[in-house]
């Protein structure tokens, strides 16, 4: 993680200084900061950013809008940092591509620990492996952390890729949302089954010919989700 670069975005300079100090104690030395949405986007276009901690309330823009713009140019994990703790805000953040949600007031060591976890997960995605899961219509290359749909590479956020890889490794097996959360997310971050449901929906938009009528990532009523192969698409 010594080569990872973390972008902190918040309009409170004191908070940025505190997080920078805490992250450095955790061995994360490459840290850049921004106090506005414009500064954050400029940095993101100029630097190779590994992870973003993003405040929702910024002086020149809404963090939700900024997150959506960021997702157009990077698949780096995005951790929302905000005083809003309503479920509707969390759901909106996840739908726009956020990977985690931290509510103020917070313990800075908790933020550092979560940053470490997400950076380690990114490394896991990039771990050398010979595994290629080919479903005909789409293929998952675990070695390079890539998703290809009809031969075209499709960006896939780290948690989406880890969830899809887990399902590929357990094809045709049924998992409840809580089991998927436990296997893929826990024990490293707090949350609930809604996180899984939102990521399932995002994956379907990428790997399904018709997301509203899923053929691969299906829901077995009363039992859970499973990933299946389809003869018409198998190579």
Q: For 63-92, write each residue's pLDDT tens digit.
A: 888 888 888 888 889 998 877 666 777 787
pLDDT at position 152 is 93
Question: Could you tell me the pTM of the whole model?
Answer: 0.59
Using pLDDT thresholds of 50, 70 and 90, give the confidence band for residue 235: very low
Rounded CA-CA distance 162/173 in Å is 16
pLDDT at position 153 is 92
Cβ-count burial 22-56 (b if 16+ within 10 Å, e if not): bbeebebebbbbbbbbebbbebbeeeebbbbbbbb
Give the DSSP H or E segment for 31. strand 30-34
Complete domains list, the chain, with CATH? 5-125 (3.40.50.2300), 132-227 (1.10.10.10)
Q: Identify which of 116, 159, 158, 101 has the alpha carbon closest to the alpha carbon of residue 2.
A: 116
pLDDT at position 104 is 81
Rounded CA-CA distance 162/168 in Å is 10
pLDDT at position 71 is 86
pLDDT at position 139 is 92
What is the pLDDT averaged over residues 190-217? 90
Rounded CA-CA distance 13/26 in Å is 20
Q: Is the pLDDT of residue 128 over 60?
A: no
Rounded CA-CA distance 62/3 in Å is 30
Tokens of 191: 């949350």
Rounded CA-CA distance 29/65 in Å is 28
Name the residue with tokens 């089954």: 193
> How buried is residue 176: exposed, middle or buried, by Cβ count under 10 Å (0-12/13-18/19+)?
middle
Give the lowest-confidence range in 9-23, 49-63, 121-135, 160-174: 121-135
Q: Report the interhelical angle of 37-46 vs 63-71 (nearest 10°).
A: 10
Rounded CA-CA distance 159/228 in Å is 20
Phi, psi of 120, deg, nearest 5:
-65, -35
Q: What is the mean pLDDT of the chain?
A: 86
């Amino acid at each position: 993680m010594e080569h990872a670069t973390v972008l902190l975005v918040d309009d409170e300079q004191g908070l940025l200084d505190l997080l920078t100090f805490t992250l450095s104690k955790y061995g994360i030395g490459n840290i850049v900061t921004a106090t506005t949405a414009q500064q954050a986007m400029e940095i993101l276009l100029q630097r190779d950013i590994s992870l973003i901690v993003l405040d929702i309330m910024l002086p020149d823009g809404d963090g939700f809008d900024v997150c959506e713009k960021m997702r157009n140019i990077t698949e780096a994990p995005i951790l929302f940092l905000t005083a809003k703790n309503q479920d509707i805000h969390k759901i909106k953040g996840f739908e726009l591509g956020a990977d985690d949600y931290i509510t103020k007031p917070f313990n800075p060591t908790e933020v550092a620990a979560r940053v470490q976890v997400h950076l380690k997960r990114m490394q896991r995605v990039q771990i050398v492996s010979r595994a290629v899961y080919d479903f005909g219509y789409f293929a998952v290359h675990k070695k390079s952390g890539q998703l290809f749909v009809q031969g075209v590479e499709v960006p896939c956020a780290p948690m989406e890729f880890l969830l899809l890889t887990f399902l590929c490794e357990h094809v045709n097996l049924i998992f409840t949302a809580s089991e998927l959360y436990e296997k893929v997310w826990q024990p490293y971050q707090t949350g609930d089954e809604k996180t899984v449901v939102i990521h399932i929906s995002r994956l379907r938009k990428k790997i399904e010919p018709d997301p509203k009528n899923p053929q691969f990532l299906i829901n077995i009523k009363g039992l859970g989700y499973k990933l299946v192969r389809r003869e018409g698409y198998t190579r």
